Amino acid sequence: MSVRQWLIALFLIFALADSLQPTGFGQQPLVRDPQPQSDGWQTLFDGHTLTGWQAIPKESASDWTVQNGAIVGRGSADRLSYLVWKDKQLRNFELRLRYRLPGRGNSGIEVRSRPDPSGKRPLEGYHADLGHVGIGRHILGAWDFHFAKRSEPPCPRGRRLTIGPDGALRQMSISNALSLADLHPHGWNDVRIVAQGDHLQFFINGKLASEFTDNAREGRLERGAIALQIHDKDMVVEFKDLRLRQRVSEMPER
């Protein structure tokens, strides 16, 4: 081998070695976040632990575990049990997750929640209701209102509710709303909740289930926490793929 050929070979060896080095001197190879922060989405569940979550009431902590990459809630007593995300001041946001009810049950997602000063429930808040197929449109796909002092009007699946400044109610039907045929009994279903100002929407499997606008002068919930719910003893519910993106100026979809 000539000197020139030897130098070319040596250059190629060094170039190859350099391309295999980790980014940055002395650093480990880069592990990319499966949910990049640059697009605004925040992952709320790492698939392994309940870091960032708190059980309310405290004695219900054993009801919440992680199994096979999902948050599993098992009702151990006749009480409402919640798993609350650490950010207690959420206002405008989009929440996405998947849920599964292996059997019968009543569950849901509390939005803009806070401790209930009346003691009627552990939390008050706007509640996106979930349940097994057949439980009824007043639960599955409905908005429920958990208020300490206000009246709690119905907003069943397939309905659009407007609460006026004086508390007057106006309801309309939603065209092409979520139907039972759109659901996966005992399987995983996608949930999307959009909260923008006084307007909140609840989607399941890409279909609008229910929505409301709360224009009440008093008692309107401006901000609060997200919470997962166990409603009944012996029921099981599973959640995974929880992601949150806070919103600033986007208008709600119509």
Residue type, 68: N
- Distance, in Å, from the CA atom of 203 to the CA atom of 60, rounded to the nearest integer, reads 29
Tell how strand 159-163 and strand 207-214 pair up. parallel
**HSE-up of 158 (CA within 13 Å, CB side)?**
10
8 Å CB contact between 137 and 158: yes
Q: What is the pLDDT of residue 249?
A: 54
Q: What is the pLDDT of residue 241?
A: 98
- Distance, in Å, from the CA atom of 110 to the CA atom of 55, rounded to the nearest integer, reads 13
Task: Check whether 32 has a pLDDT greater than 90.
Answer: no
Provide mean pLDDT across the span 232-253: 85
Q: What is the pLDDT of residue 8?
A: 47
Q: What is the pLDDT of residue 24?
A: 33
- pLDDT of 138-182, one tens digit each? 999 999 999 999 999 999 999 999 999 999 999 999 999 999 999
Residue type, 50: L
Q: What is the pLDDT of residue 9?
A: 52
Q: What is the pLDDT of residue 41?
A: 97
Mean pLDDT, the chain, whole residue set = 88
Q: Which of 111, 100, 83, 46 is nearest to 243 (CA)?
A: 46
Tokens representing 128 are 């996106």
Top pLDDT among 30 and 48 is at 48
Q: What is the pLDDT of residue 2?
A: 57
Q: What is the pLDDT of residue 252?
A: 47
**Could you tell me the domains of the chain?**
38-246 (2.60.120.560)
Q: What is the pLDDT of residue 217?
A: 96
Top pLDDT among 235 and 23 is at 235
Q: What is the pLDDT of residue 11?
A: 44
Provide mean pLDDT across the span 101-109: 97
